[in-house]
Structure 1
């Protein structure tokens, strides 16, 4: 096993010497961390000692692993050199060293991903003598995890941070609130979790499904849970970007605090946390009270999340209540706005200025383009490429995540056995051929594409096994798209990727990932009779 099996594919790699050789790891192998790499060394020692039973004690003899920051390299770039003298993992920063350590773990073989030795008598391991030089294509390599529709307990989030790190992904977009649940403790507004984090029952399936799970569902993260998640992510050089959805997708918040809704249109005191899927018509009222409330939410949020970006949603805000609301119409006239789209733009713009004043940047779904985009805002382009193209041409930064390409809740095959089939068919190969940068953009405009992310919406994912099934192995293909400088989609060597996946499936097995097998779902992964949400016609291709 050598550099030819590494995923994501590295930029350059070669054997040392020209013919394959191996470097032994044993009880005498030491691990030396030069200044700035101490935390990487702690992670690497813990991971490898657990799997191998070897101590990897501190030391700097030739028979060892040396971690070093090389300021001459790009920040996330790394170099792994395994020759007859030592193992050296260099990076442009601690993050680069960490990505190099992830590659080194792959070189040790799939059993290096286990939590205990499967052969305690084995006291020697071998890694190939190679040189690998690598750096990422994009600085934003993200996974959006929706914990609002189905709650993922804290341990499950930590597990996904480990899985992200193993694939060199570096942004967790944490979708914390929606119509179906509020998942983060806000101490000045305790009802957000006391009331807003639980729903009485849950639709099983999508849309027309007549099935219900007749039991309460919910949960939330305490502020200490969030601190732990953020710290755990930081140890793995992953940034956690929180999302608090406004002004739509807010029924859980309105159920907790009815005054946030359009009280001049409906009786908001009768609203409950939503138990079905789709787009709720119950949206936030565009009042000063609402603005002050969410400023209070964000004040606590900024203390928990140090990320530069804060996501405010902004998608799928139905404006029927605003059209009927005297309060909303009066605000439109007061501000001199053209229509309800302008009112949403004003709402988002308020929080853009509020966040900018505190050294943060707002990011939202591409609907925030409607009615005019806030000055400092970045865009998550999800309804295709068009929003991202428009934003980049206007000088705004973009994260490309088009639903036709990288929404991992969408079905993986057209077969009847796919569990709760949603949306477009997007196979492993389809994801591998996804291109984040539209060819219409000039080089200057393309510079506004921060990167890309895959989105995992959990309406029909009731537990971690379902999340695993929808996410893997497609997230592996996505990770290579986000990291590696691949050729044009039609020219990508999917056959070679499949060859490397034969080894990578064994890594996923060792990690306990309940992925979709290449041959199709296993019997217990199917959901016969549970309706999904078909979309007719082929998706637009690029």
Structure 2
């Protein structure tokens, strides 16, 4: 989701095996799947097990510069070259099997005479032996060169859990393709993927790609901007309050004896989570503790969540405009704490958020995260004053919420196994494997979801559920097809057709941005809207029962890829409708408008992605609309932003250049993640973001190939005098800021936390606090590039000095708190050099531990420049010593 064709998000499996008389005509995709190679020998289960246990698979990336061998009819003629290498230690004279595997981008072509490769649907591919294959010979190498779409720039592009199948036998995962966990970093890696080592072939997209591949010396040089000494962070509060006064002279307030809490106008349940966090940091409640008075005093002139805090030797007082303000004040108190130092400075604070909407999207649809992960995550969201959880629960690859009355959604749509008919589960995709009980499968029961909602309320977080539609809906479509078949078999035709989501006679050939050909709900049939109404009625009831009324729902509405053009139902709709729809291209907007108004009639405000909204007519939409804007800055995101803001819609910035946490932290093939809009999105880049002024970033950021770009935000008209772009209207601004964790290749909880933290802390800073160095938006319009100079040297100096303080606070205060909470955040790559036999090292978050390894000697803590040999490695270590970062070899100068 939220992808463009140059990377293609990982896809879904489709293999339908035909239909009986009671089923509708098979969903068209089944016809595009070639039959496996004819069985040449009768296989047994023992044969399949032997092959799965002994076949050694390697993936070898050859070159991104493979355009001369690409299929010019696919993906703009762009592809990379790679190969599979198979070996076995024993003879395996077998045929009659197929191997299924997931691959980020679809196949272009292959060169093997012994094996056939084919792209099925989404990310699913299949490998079968040809007539020339006579079986694997022991210790013989078999290579299958192939080309696939676009580029491969990260080793995490490759998907694990290739599996082998044969008629009437149990499928088996090929053992050599299973993922493994590094015991020191606790991160998943893929042992069968050969390392990417070559700059031109493995690292560059194109010859125009200027992205540097930083080595240890490059990181060392970059980290020098942080200075060589630790900075005092005792007065740093994250996120930064609007107004802070530290009185001078001052003396520290000792909280070693704890705190004694009194409440006025606020319930204990409304602040209990924050008080428990303080206790976990060593500040516990006690009868003889320092008095902490918590009170609510309403103020309609301030944004919800605002508060004041005064801390003196006589006591602490926190007054919020509402209960969430009191809660936020307690989290500010926690921010002043350094672990094992129960003291805070005297301080007076007046604080309110920059944005009312401060959110994080978590995609649990592609790869499931259970309720315990979500609640633990909300602990940290609330610690840094984020207040919106966009929970993405419905996708092509999975449906993750129980809906009473529609059990097929979770019985089929929440599980992945090998079922070619997809009547019991969805076929495996995204490297999910074939075990339906895998942690990456599953769903929230009604009671699970209520528990999440209750926990969210206690943390002053609003949950915005999202079950994407009409695109990104394959899990729902297949689940409702299974429902159709079930009730057709019972001869209950009305019930069978009640929630059918596709036109059985639709022959439209289309491909979604993730290369699906069957993932879009039909916008023309009434059963589609009956389904939406049923789902939303049930979701609203769950919310009400949990005590967090559903006031806003995210439709999704994005990336609908040319469906319906050949649908008889839609052709009839166009011919006979009285709604002014005259063109198939209008159907996407019609669906969004209709669903948005359906929600509004239920008392629910609609939200959707910008590309699903920009084609709607504002006068056909409800009064309140949230638009998540996700355009890429070098590709003109500011055009859509201005248009949607000028519609008076609530625009939530979801800019991929800086808020997509599935992207890598740094540009390195070892760094996990997608990279279609940014090769590196480290914590400093998130900190640099100026959400009030999007165009200004052209002055100091580069495009995805590290080249300069231009943003022209001036008034623009075409030759006929029609306005094609205008800046935001005077006084208009954005409603909020949201980070995104898409999960196509995020298969473990540890990896999910690694992706989110510590970037989430910088996101919270930007959503809550308006930086003093931020350039105001120019409502008259302006053009920005690397030479326009609006963000001048003085402002850059202010920003960089504040980043130094922020980075020190992370290393010295905040990351140790995450250790305490057992959060697996990313440890930065250590910067280092060996010069004249002496090791020099530094780190992006000063205060973290650095270790080095000199040749075969044991790992040793680095404290100062040290004499070493020429074979040195360095790595970061958490304060508690329990986890290590990725080690790198040190450059010798």
Aligning the two structures, in what range does the TM-score lie when normalised by the shorter sequence? Answer: 0.7 to 0.9
Q: State the partner residue of 2:337.
A: 108
Partner-residue secondary structure (3-state), 1:337 = coil
Is residue 221 of structure 1 aligned with residue 507 of structure 2?
Answer: no
Q: Does 1:263 align with 2:504?
A: yes
CA distance in structure 1 between the partners assigned to 2:433 and 2:675 by the alignment: 19
Distance 1:96 1:212, change over 3 A: closer
* 1:64 counterpart residue number: 291
| Alpha-carbon distance in structure 1 between the residues aligned to 2:653 and 2:644 | 11
Correspondence for 1:362 = 606
* 1:538 alignment partner in structure 2: none
Structure 1 residue 111 displacement after superposition: 5.3
Counterparts of 1:186 and 1:381 in 2: how far apart (Å)? Answer: 29
Q: How far did residue 129 of structure 1 move? A: 1.7
- Tell me which residue corresponds to 2:538: 300
Deviates more, 1:293-302 or 1:496-505: 496-505
Cα deviation, 1:375-410, whole Å, max 9, x if unaligned, reads 223211112433232111122221111112211111
Residues 84, 507 of structure 1: alpha-carbon distance in 2 compared, 3 angstrom cutoff: same
Q: How does 1:201-212 map to 2 (within 5 A)?
A: 202-203=428-429
In the alignment, structure 1 residue 237 sits paired with structure 2 residue 460:
yes
Which whole-Å CA distance do the structure 1 matches of 2:474 and 2:340 have between them?
Answer: 46
Q: Distance in 2 between matches of 1:63 and 1:263?
A: 70
Correspondence list, 1:321-336, <5 A = 322-333=564-575, 334=577, 335-336=579-580
Give, in whole Å, the separation in 2 of the partners of 1:173 and 1:343: 26
Q: Does 1:312 align with 2:551?
A: no
TM-score by length of 2: 0.53
Q: Which has the bigger relative contact order, CA under 8 A and spacing at least 6?
A: 1
Separation in structure 2 between the aligned mates of residue 133 and residue 456 of structure 1, nearest angstrom: 32
User: Paired residue for 2:316, among 82, 87, 105?
Assistant: 87
The change in CA–CA distance for 1:41 and 1:337 in structure 2 (over 3 A counts) is closer
**Separation in 1, partners of 2:541, 2:350:** 37
2:333 is paired with a residue whose SS is: helix
Q: Report SS of the residue matched to 2:402.
A: coil
Q: Secondary structure at the match of 1:7?
A: coil
> Residues 3 and 35 of structure 1: is their aligned pair in 2 closer, same or farther, counting only changes over 3 Å?
farther
Question: Are 2:515 and 1:282 equivalent residues in the alignment?
Answer: no
CA distance in 2, matches of 1:47, 1:497: 21
CA distance in 2, matches of 1:53, 1:5: 18
Q: 1:525 to 1:312 in 2, by over 3 A?
A: farther
Query: Residues 154, 278 of structure 1: CA spacing in aligned structure 2 closer, same or farther, 3 A cutoff?
Result: farther
Q: 1:470: Cα distance to partner?
A: 1.3
Quick one: distance in 1 between partners of 2:825 and 2:272? 29
* Residue 212 to residue 159, structure 1, CA distance change in 2 (3 Å): closer
Report the more deviating stretch, 188-197 or 306-315.
306-315
CA contact (8 A) 1:393 1:445 kept: yes
Contact 1:431 1:474 in 2 (8 A): yes
Number of corresponding residues? 495
Query: What is the DSSP-based 3-state SS (H/G/I as helix, E as strand, rest coil) of the residue aligned with 2:597?
Result: helix
Unaligned runs of 5+ in 2: 1-231, 418-426, 482-499, 544-548, 696-726, 776-790, 831-874, 877-882, 888-893
The Cα shift of 1:366 comes to 0.9
User: CA–CA distance in 2 between the matches of 1:159 and 1:443?
Assistant: 41
Q: Distance in 2 between matches of 1:292 and 1:477?
A: 42
Match of 1:459 in 2: 744
Equivalence for 2:689 = 434
Query: 1:401·1:452 contact (CA, 8 Å) conserved in 2?
Result: yes
**2:268 equivalent to 1:6:** no
**Taking structure 1 as the reference length, what is the TM-score of the superposition?**
0.85
Q: Against the structure 1 CA distance between its residues 410 and 420, is the aligned structure 2 distance closer, same or farther, given a 3 Å change threshold? A: closer
Q: Distance in 1 between matches of 2:407 and 2:354?
A: 42
Q: Matched residues in 2 for 1:325 and 1:467: separation?
A: 40
Distance in structure 2 (CA, Å) of the matches to 1:524 and 1:280: 43
Query: Does the CA-based 8 Å contact 1:110-1:504 persist in structure 2?
Result: no
Residues 472 and 312 of structure 1, relative CA distance in 2, 3 Å threshold: same
Q: Greater CA deviation, 238-247 or 420-429?
A: 420-429
| Equivalent pair of 1:146/1:458 in contact (CA under 8 Å) | yes
| 2:273 is equivalent to residue 43 of structure 1 | yes
Residues 1:350 and 1:454: Cα distance change in structure 2 (over 3 Å): same
Deviations 1:448-491 (A, max 9, x none): x2111011101111011111111111111111110001132653
- Would you say 1:180 and 2:403 are equivalent positions? no
CA contact (8 A) 2:271 2:326 kept: no
Kindly report the root-mean-square deviation, in angstroms, between the aligned alpha carbons of the 2 structures: 2.7
Q: Which moved more, 1:323-332 or 1:213-222?
A: 213-222
Contact 1:143–1:172, Cα closer than 8 Å, also in 2 = yes
Partner residue, 2:172:
none
Question: Aligned-pair distance for 1:445?
Answer: 2.4
Tell me the residue number matched to 2:656: 403
More helix by share: 1
Q: What corresponds to 1:513 in structure 2? A: 823
What SS class does the counterpart of residue 165 from structure 1 fall into? Answer: helix
Give, in angstroms, the shift of residue 297 of structure 1: 0.4
- In the other structure, the counterpart of 1:471 is 756
Q: CA deviation at 1:429?
A: 2.0
Residues 15-51 of structure 1 show CA distances to partners (whole Å, capped at 9, x for unaligned) of 24x1341222255741111122432443344333344
Q: Which segment is superposed worse, 375-384 or 355-364?
A: 375-384
* CA apart distance, 1:280: 5.1
Matched, 1:375 2:604: no
Partner residue, 1:533:
none
Q: In the alignment, which residue of structure 2 is the partner of 1:497?
A: 806
Farther off after superposition, 68-77 or 342-351: 68-77
Give yes or no for contact 2:233–2:805 (8 Å, CA) kept in 1. Answer: no
How much has 1:158 moved relative to structure 2? 0.2
Conservation of the 8 A alpha-carbon contact between 2:610 and 2:629: yes
Counterpart contact for 1:67–1:88, Cα < 8 Å: yes
- In the TM superposition, residue 277 of structure 1 has moved relative to its aligned partner by 5.8
CA separation of 1:40/1:291 partners in 2, compared to 1, >3 Å: closer, same or farther?
A: closer
Work out the CA distance in 2 between the residues paired with 1:2 and 1:517: 20
1:278–1:518 CA distance, 2 compared to 1 (3 A): farther
Deviations 1:339-380 (A, max 9, x none): 233111111111111111122111101122224344223211
Query: Using the alignment, how far apart are the partners of 1:27 and 1:427 within structure 2?
Result: 39
The aligned residue for residue 96 of structure 1 is 325
Compute the displacement of 1:255 (Å): 1.0
Contact 2:295 2:320 survives alignment (8 Å)? yes
What is the rounded CA distance, in whole Å, between the counterparts of 1:130 and 1:51 in structure 2?
A: 20
DSSP 3-state at the match of 1:282: coil
Task: Give the 3 Å change call, closer, same or farther, for CA 41–471 of structure 1 in structure 2.
Answer: closer
